[in-house]
Structure 1
Amino acid sequence: MTDASLPRLRILHVFRAPLGGLFRHVLDLARGQAERGHDVGIFCDATTGGSRADDVFAELSDKLTLGITRVPMSRYPSLTDARAQMSTIALRSRLAPDVVHCHGSKGGLYGRLPAIANPWRRYITAYTPHGGSFNYKPGGTEHKIYMTVERLLEGATDMFLFESRFIVGRFEAHIGHLPRTDHRIVLNGISDPEFEPIDHTDATFDLVYLGELRSAKGIDTLIDALSLLKSRDALTPRILIVGSGPDEAALRALTVSRGIADQCVFEPPGPIRRALSRAHVMVVPSRAESLPYVILEAAAAAQPLVSTNVGGINEIYGPRHRDRLIPTNDPAVLADAIRRILATPDAERRAEAADLAQHVRQHFRLDSMIDGVLTAYRDALARRARG
């Protein structure tokens, strides 16, 4: 697929960690833009992502004509920021991109800070927050600092590209107004092969959790819910916990103290469809999300789901399905939801999942996401060219 009738763009994606949904979003955009004939490059951290990121970048290297540049970056403010900032300035000068598309808080800093001193620049800056600093608890010191930075960088942003209505609302609530420059909502998208229903013929687990192992994901609530099912209802569903993160040791210990360790199997991150095929129901107990790819992918593949109602998840479910979402931080409610879905006949579970998959197919398409982002770039470039 190409945009042969339109000018070829030079696009540089800037972000920090090649991990999670943000990384998936950038990869989808970069691949799609390259397939449409554009020159695309990536600038990100060299110290995270592990072998999976190495493998993905090796596969992409011959498709991205502006290359893949990786330098050390830190998650929190440090002296590393200055070195990474100088690297991105040098790279931008050498590549002369038409578009610097910044992703997440750190990407937003590295890509937009130099633009403050260059109001007459030829290139445009686009910014997709992906939650990032907008997910910090309001009122705290960190949140105040990050919101101050966001206000400072707003004037250096030609186009805000929000992946959910939820993050638009967060921006307005925490900054005090909608972006004063152009902004669009371009929903994350799923490719056609991902709508193939999951085959559960060989499933040996009742439940599966997929994601980072940290507090914001609410896995402790899930463990408490499983403990309650065992003590209250004499139910012991087996669960596959797939992921990694800073709280892994504490969560393993919690399964022991709650008496459910023999029901839980921890495994490192791997292909999502393979993990989904090993369990009949996916559980998402999150406390905070933006528009999570893990739910988009599972919903598209007609995987039965139990999920909390946080962030943009209700946008994925839509008005016909969002009443199935449950409140967060409540083990009893989560336990009841798990008990109900496991007691539901398989045919009925699959029918509900297929109905949600159809909704996702109508509203979250990969081609629509890529085309929407490219249209936003061109509109911002035309506006900048007019002065």
Structure 2
Amino acid sequence: MPDSHSLRIVHCFRAPVGGIFRHVRDLIDAQVAAGHKVGIICDASSGGDFEESMLGEMRGKLELGLERIAMQRQIGPGDAVAAIRTYKIIKKSRPDVLHGHGAKGGTYARLFGSLLRASGSRVARFYSPHGGSLHFDLATLQGRFIFCVERLMERMTDRIIFVSKFEQGVYARKVGEPRCGHALIYNGLANREFEPVTPGPDAADFLFIGEMRALKGPDIFIDALTRGSAMSGRALTAVMVGDGIDRNHLIEQAQAGQMSGNIRFLMPMKAREAFRLAKVVVIPSRAEALPYIVLEALAAGRPVIASQIGGIPEILGEASPALVKPEAESLSGGMVTAINDLEGFQQLLPGTQVLRQKFSVENMAMRLEAEYFAALGR
């Protein structure tokens, strides 16, 4: 690719875990393949061995480097030191595009991109919320303050990239219709992810995979498994894959409900490896934008049960029987229905051809690249 078409892109986000990390990895693969020079700035204190291995695999691709600094989830005194370090790294990278993901990454990218522009650099400032600050309640003082800040930050934003219609609608309702450029670009999957995955002969009934924290609903999953066992008259089994601040508490919850013998807790692993461990993938989240795990499971041919929240109905269809309320009673009913007729339940889910048309990584990267060039006036 000619140099005039090659961009210097820096992605800034807080924690190298979950959907944001997956999203950035996909973008980087596509952007590097397109001839762009890419770098990452993220938190140094988040993630475990699995995330470290994933970052290690990426290092060789990142011409602009991989920089890790301490970034707190909540605003605090440590932000000043982190901000100064981040600005110095960004300035040294001389980016054409600063793309912030999530609340903290979005703040850093837009603030420091604006400082660079004030000093004469031409840099495009992009922001992808990925839920982030939009999860706050508009009725609370904290929520109103955060949404006021989001509104003010639009003055420093060239493009907001939403990953679902739901996220776009929440932003309009809580913050207001964007007064800067914006676009809806769905998350995408690579062709290799449409290869079917077959569970092993000793597969459990259900799989939870994700961060072990309240937002992702692992406690709902455990309660629903207990209820489902009582409803079905047999001990339903599960595997829970992931790590996070609530992991020990969840193990205690399983023990207290006498379900510890029915649930295996495993540390993070690649999604397709985890899909082999169970027959049905469950996403019991309390809040989401457009979770990759739903797309990955469907593409791998695995039945899915998911909360009827966020952008999930945009994947499964508004009337899908796979959608449940993010509460144990509703989820347990869906789990029993699915496990009693796996083949029939599978036929009610979107096929791979539908997914390929709407959620491809090629389309995601191509559309985002077009937004980058448009923001730069090229």
CA contact (8 A) 1:205 1:240 kept: yes
Who is 2:34 aligned against? Answer: 36
Q: Which region of structure 1 is more displaced relative to structure 2, 78-87 or 368-377? A: 78-87
Who is 1:367 aligned against? Answer: 362
For residues 198-239 of structure 1, what are the alpha-carbon distances to aligned partners after superposition, in whole Å with 9 as ceiling and x for unaligned?
112434211111111111222222222222233344221110
For residues 247-271 of structure 1, what are the alpha-carbon distances to aligned partners after superposition, in whole Å with 9 as ceiling and x for unaligned?
2222222222223222111111111
Matches within 5 A, 1:1-387: 3-4=1-2, 7-116=5-114, 118=117, 121-175=121-175, 177-318=176-317, 322-329=320-327, 331-344=328-341, 346-353=342-349, 355-382=350-377
- Which one-letter code corresponds to 1:239 in the other structure? A
CA contact (8 A) 1:136 1:143 kept: yes
- Which one-letter code corresponds to 1:348 in the other structure? G
> Is the partner of 2:156 in helix, strand or coil?
coil
Using structure 1 for the length normalisation, give the TM-score.
Answer: 0.92
- Which one-letter code corresponds to 2:13 in the other structure? F
Shift of 1:378: 0.5
Moved over 4 A (4+): 3-6, 115-121
CA contact (8 A) 1:88 1:111 kept: no
- Which one-letter code corresponds to 2:361 in the other structure? L
> Is the partner of 2:67 in helix, strand or coil?
strand
CA contact (8 A) 1:125 1:159 kept: yes
Shift of 1:141: 3.4
Counterpart-to-counterpart distance in 2, 1:190 and 1:134? 25
Q: Which region of structure 1 is more displaced relative to structure 2, 67-76 or 54-63? A: 54-63
Unmatched tracts of structure 1, length 5 or more: none
**204 and 46 in structure 1: CA distance in 2 versus 1, 3 angstrom threshold:** same
CA contact (8 A) 2:157 2:180 kept: yes
Shift of 1:349: 4.0
CA contact (8 A) 2:9 2:38 kept: yes
Unmatched tracts of structure 2, length 5 or more: none
**194 and 6 in structure 1: CA distance in 2 versus 1, 3 angstrom threshold:** farther
CA contact (8 A) 2:208 2:221 kept: no
For residues 267-309 of structure 1, what are the alpha-carbon distances to aligned partners after superposition, in whole Å with 9 as ceiling and x for unaligned?
1111111111111111111111111111111111111111110
Counterpart-to-counterpart distance in 2, 1:35 and 1:267? 34
Counterpart-to-counterpart distance in 1, 2:50 and 2:186? 25
> Is the partner of 2:49 in helix, strand or coil?
helix
- State the identity %: 35
Shift of 1:122: 1.1
Shift of 1:104: 0.6
CA contact (8 A) 1:304 1:352 kept: no
**141 and 26 in structure 1: CA distance in 2 versus 1, 3 angstrom threshold:** same
For residues 36-85 of structure 1, what are the alpha-carbon distances to aligned partners after superposition, in whole Å with 9 as ceiling and x for unaligned?
10111111111112222332232222221111111111111122211221
CA contact (8 A) 2:304 2:322 kept: no
Q: Which region of structure 1 is more displaced relative to structure 2, 90-99 or 109-118? A: 109-118
Shift of 1:380: 0.7
- Which one-letter code corresponds to 1:101 in the other structure? H
Counterpart-to-counterpart distance in 2, 1:349 and 1:271? 25
Using structure 2 for the length normalisation, give the TM-score.
Answer: 0.94
- Which one-letter code corresponds to 1:261 in the other structure? S
> Is the partner of 2:61 in helix, strand or coil?
coil
**232 and 195 in structure 1: CA distance in 2 versus 1, 3 angstrom threshold:** closer
CA contact (8 A) 2:96 2:123 kept: yes
Shift of 1:6: 5.9
Counterpart-to-counterpart distance in 2, 1:323 and 1:128? 30
CA contact (8 A) 1:317 1:356 kept: no
